Amino acid sequence: MKLLEYEAKSIFSGYGIPVPRTGGVITKLGQLPAALRRAGKGPWVLKAQVLAGGRGKAGGVKVVKTPADARAAAQAMLGMRIATHQTHGAALTVREVLIDQASRISREIYLSVVLDRREACPVVIASAEGGMQIEELAKSKPEAILKEAVDPSRGLESFQARRLAFRLRIPGPQIPAFVRLAQSLARVFLDYDASLVEVNPLVITGSGELVALDGKIVVDDNALFRQKTLAGRKDGEASALELQAKKVGISYIGLDGDIGCMINGAGLAMGTMDTVALAGGSPANFLDVGGGATAKQVTAAFKILLKDRKVKAVLVNIFGGIMRCDVIAQGVLEALKNVNMKVPLVVRLEGTNVEEGKRLLKESRVRLTLADTLWDAAQKAVTAAKGAGK
């Protein structure tokens, strides 16, 4: 579960991490004057609350000097659709705008805590080059990225936080504040069962204070049962498809590519995605309809797949083990009656009653391409997606 910036910053604040003075979020223009008052004297910064980074470049962050400018910016921002490099081609509607007192920035630093799977522990990542896309920096200048492994039973040690401070060239007077901040950030990560806690940028203000200007927290869904403070929190639009899938017992994870994949079984799904990649394509998602794969689930899965506007072709790869292929074929046909399929569809069935399943699909006159092997299916899907892209 991803938390919005203002939720993350409110948690930070509870851990003593300095954040800008805030007027809170508004959902209507009428709430702006009170929010500006709460945020104190201007200038202010208006920030679109969507579950994606890179808002700055997409018009989702505006610094304003007067209440009139704030009003114009809020009016433009509320209801705006925003697409950043992190929204996977889709756009998110801005329903909440955060009003903070603006900070004067003299330096931007990157600071986060993530799970390091190889080291099997959380790791604090820092860089003196904040504000930048950390993924790019990791590629172009890996030496600029600093790391400190966190012992989960002890948190970040103060000597580790000091070592980061020195390497980040935090000015002497701010070192104690940095140490507290970094340790608190690691504490937030552990306490919230997070998979990511990120401050980008952490700024040093004109008056030399350290302030978390932005905040992102991703909580491991498997730990939500014990994260009582987050129970009942509605998940945002970015993961709307994932949530919709979860409701009908489908595991769905959105990815960056353009081939929508519908598969039964997580292992087959992974194998299919590898094969698509090998054939020169790129999957738009991971989708496991589960072992059952009933017509209802296949319909739901198609609907979810086709909501992703990046999808240029759909690849169905289903193994009929417990479920017979003819039943699956009927399910696919039934599902196609209920969805508006505008992109090419490649279907590969294998397993029990496969001949009967294929015959049903062939005789149906539905426009689809049948494939015999996984390799054949992947190549056909890649070709179809490329053709549709032109």
What is the Cα–Cα distance from 349 to 372, expressed in whole angstroms? 7
**Which residue is catalytic, options 6, 108, 110, 252?**
110
Site string for Mn ion, 204-233 (x = CB under 5 A): ----------x-------------------
Parallel, antiparallel, or unpaired: how do β-strands 216-219 and 194-205 relate?
A: antiparallel
CB contact at 8 A, 125 and 147 = yes
- Four-CA torsion 356, 359, 365, 366, nearest 10 degrees: 50
Q: Is residue 61 at the binding interface for ligand GDP, with CB under 6 A as the rule?
A: yes
Q: Which stretch binds ligand GDP (CB under 6 A): 54-62, 87-95, 226-234, 316-324?
A: 54-62
**54 contacts which partner out of ligand GDP, Mn ion, none, CB within 5 to 8 A by kind?**
ligand GDP
- Among residues 217, 216, 213, which one has the least CA distance to residue 19? 213
- 201 interacts with ligand GDP by CB under 6 A: yes
DSSP 89-113: T--EE---EEEEE---EEEEEEEEE
- Using rule CB under 5 A, residue 96 touches Mn ion: no
C-beta separation of 316 from 268 below 8 A? no
Is position 148 an interface residue for Mn ion (rule: CB under 5 A)?
A: no
The amino acid occupying position 278 is L
Catalytic residue list contains 198? yes
Closest CA to 314 of 323, 303, 325: 303
What is the rounded end-to-end Cα distance, in angstroms, of the chain? 36
112 is an interface residue for Mn ion by CB under 5 A: no
200: contact with Mn ion by CB under 5 A: yes
Catalytic residue at 110?
yes
Q: Residue 198, interface with ligand GDP (CB under 6 A)? A: no
Residue 213 contacts which entry, ligand GDP, Mn ion, none (Cβ below 5-8 A, type-dependent): ligand GDP
Choose the contact partner of 344 out of Mn ion, ligand GDP, none; CB within 5 to 8 A by kind: none
Q: Could you list the active site residues?
A: 110, 198
Which residues contact ligand GDP by CB under 6 A? 45, 47, 53-56, 61, 63, 102-103, 105, 108, 131, 200-201, 213-214
